[in-house]
Structure 1
Amino acid sequence: MTALRLQFVIRELCSAAVARRKSLGAHVFARTTGRLFTGTFKALFSNFEDFLRIVWAWFALIILGVLAFNVLGPQSLHTPGPELVPNLVHVLAIFVSVLVVTVANSSIAVAWHRCLLLGERPGAVHLRVGRRELAYVRKTVLIFLISGVAVIPLSLVFIMVNRLMGPGFGILVVVIGVLGLWLPILMRLMLALPATAVDERLGLLDAFRQSRGLGWPMVVASVGVSLVIFLPMVLLIVIAAFAGGVFSAVAGVLLEIGAQIASVALQIGVLTGGHYILRERQMAQGAGPPAAG
């Protein structure tokens, strides 16, 4: 009887410990996600003037490039003829556009990271491309390549499930694979980017190892800020469309540009918040941030 009672007590204690651990994990997850979500908006509103200084010149340059391409460039990706032959000028223009946008995003991201983490104030015109920005581009491209490799097994699984169980199940597998498995890993790898911006040595593997428990909160916060941006934008575009005419066209363009600018600020802000929490963990463990390279 005593043995049975002791076994019952031990089982109840274990159950209570597991329940407490789950409750604590859920609390930490909610708290971390809330900090990332609210902190991203607070950072933007508190430093809105600085962010405008960081982005306006790059966005103006990109918009002017798009206008010049539409006005001066060829009207079609293909030249007339019996076969569709890619126009070399157009292909080159697309390559240059992708390169400029990539460099611009890296320049904006580095400046925004440094503004939020180090308090570095940008100048009136920000078009800086230097060592930090190029290092940021290299790590971004590396993460993109890793993502491409990760898609291969997911694609194979999709093909197999699609053939065996139908397209609906195949799409479900892709959604679960991307959202449930890859996105949290991707967000943890991307924590190496803000570290690069502030001259800290943090490789992709180290970023992944040290950021346990940050992947899902960053994914949820990123999805949350995206919804906050794009749902009102869609509503405003619909309202503007009913107005019709020139107002509708101008309003649509301005809303799209505004949404892109806000999206850049907030998504970079989520990464910055994740890096800040990572720093807090290092400080709590008695280790400072990695030394500059």
Structure 2
Amino acid sequence: MLGWKLFVRALTLLLDNLGDALRVSALPYGAVIVLSVWVAGAYPSTLDPQSVTDGMTLSGGAAGATLLTVVLNLVVSLWVAVAWHRYVLLSERPAGWVPPVNGGAMLGYLGRSLLIGLLVGVAIVGISIPLGFLTLALPGGTLLVGAVSLFIGMIVFYRLAVVLPAGAIGRKMTLGEGMEATKGHTETVLVLALLTVGFSLLLQVPAMLDGTVGMISIVYQGVVGWIGLMLGVSTLTALYGHVVEGRPVE
């Protein structure tokens, strides 16, 4: 099954190149974790999920610090994603512990990600509304609509997302070309998406079982976030490398 092989390939890319993966990501993502720990210590109210959800209950300083954490997380995610794509696809090894800052590629990555997200949202709404009417009277109809919409969303995302590593390495690829490159791989991208999301959720289980939000939990969530980011980027890299560049998966 190609989806499974691509997932294993993504894991292999990380494990076989763990040293360089840390060089590309450890310092930037470590800064995110340090900032998260500092914010939690300086503003304990941010540890309350209800307070974070309801921004009106946060003080100005806490709200600002939380926003800063979100912005830094976004910038670092773009920074690391572009650097890792370039490392794998172009053999662009980091010279030190600070990955190259490809500002143009990062902005392009953000723009394409937002556009893909918008199209995924449109696809989910487009399928959920008519399906919701059809299953309105069925028991478990809401669950069915949610599951089908999620699967459709994941398929659309992975069908389009090959443009992200393409842009990271400076290759012009339209969304239409991305769809064409992944044509006939619907089952493959669905399996790949389910494995990637499932693995990331599995890593969240210890924190869910613990139920408390403290410094240790924040650090753990940071490490899990790093694993999820690197695995997700590696998955897109493996998919792009195979369907666009014809690279082997074994």
Shift of 1:236: 9.5
Shift of 1:255: 4.3
Report the aligned-residue RMSD: 3.3
Tell me if 1:132 matches 2:97: no
* TM-score (norm. length: structure 2): 0.79
Matched-pair contact (CA < 8 Å) for 2:112–2:164:
yes
> Residue type of the partner of 1:196?
G
Identity of aligned residues (%): 23
Structure 2 Cα separation of the partners of residues 237 and 75 of structure 1: 20
* TM-score (norm. length: structure 1): 0.69
> C-alpha offsets along residues 207-254 of structure 1, whole Å, 9 cap, x if unaligned?
11221123431331232244445546636986xx6xxxxxxx776555
Matched-pair contact (CA < 8 Å) for 1:214–1:274:
no
Trace 1:39-188 onto structure 2 (pairs within 5 A). 39-73=9-43, 75=45, 77=51, 87-122=59-94, 123-126=96-99, 128=101, 130-157=103-130, 159-161=132-134, 164-166=136-138, 168-179=140-151, 181-188=152-159
Q: Is there any run of 5+ residues in structure 1 with no aligned partner, and where?
A: 1-29, 79-83, 242-248, 283-293
> C-alpha offsets along residues 123-159 of structure 1, whole Å, 9 cap, x if unaligned?
2123725111111111111112222333333442365
SS at the partner of 2:244?
helix
Structure 1 Cα separation of the partners of residues 217 and 65 of structure 2: 25
SS at the partner of 1:202?
coil
Structure 2 Cα separation of the partners of residues 35 and 143 of structure 1: 25
Rg (Cα) greater in structure: 1
Larger RCO: Structure 1 or Structure 2 (Cα < 8 Å, ≥ 6 residues apart)?
2
Structure 1 Cα separation of the partners of residues 93 and 128 of structure 2: 44
Shift of 1:89: 4.6
1:25 match: none
Matched-pair contact (CA < 8 Å) for 1:136–1:197:
yes
Shift of 1:90: 4.4
Shift of 1:74: 7.4
Structure 2 Cα separation of the partners of residues 236 and 87 of structure 1: 27
Matched-pair contact (CA < 8 Å) for 2:84–2:233:
yes
The count of residues paired between Structure 1 and Structure 2 equals 238
Q: Is there any run of 5+ residues in structure 2 with no aligned partner, and where?
A: none
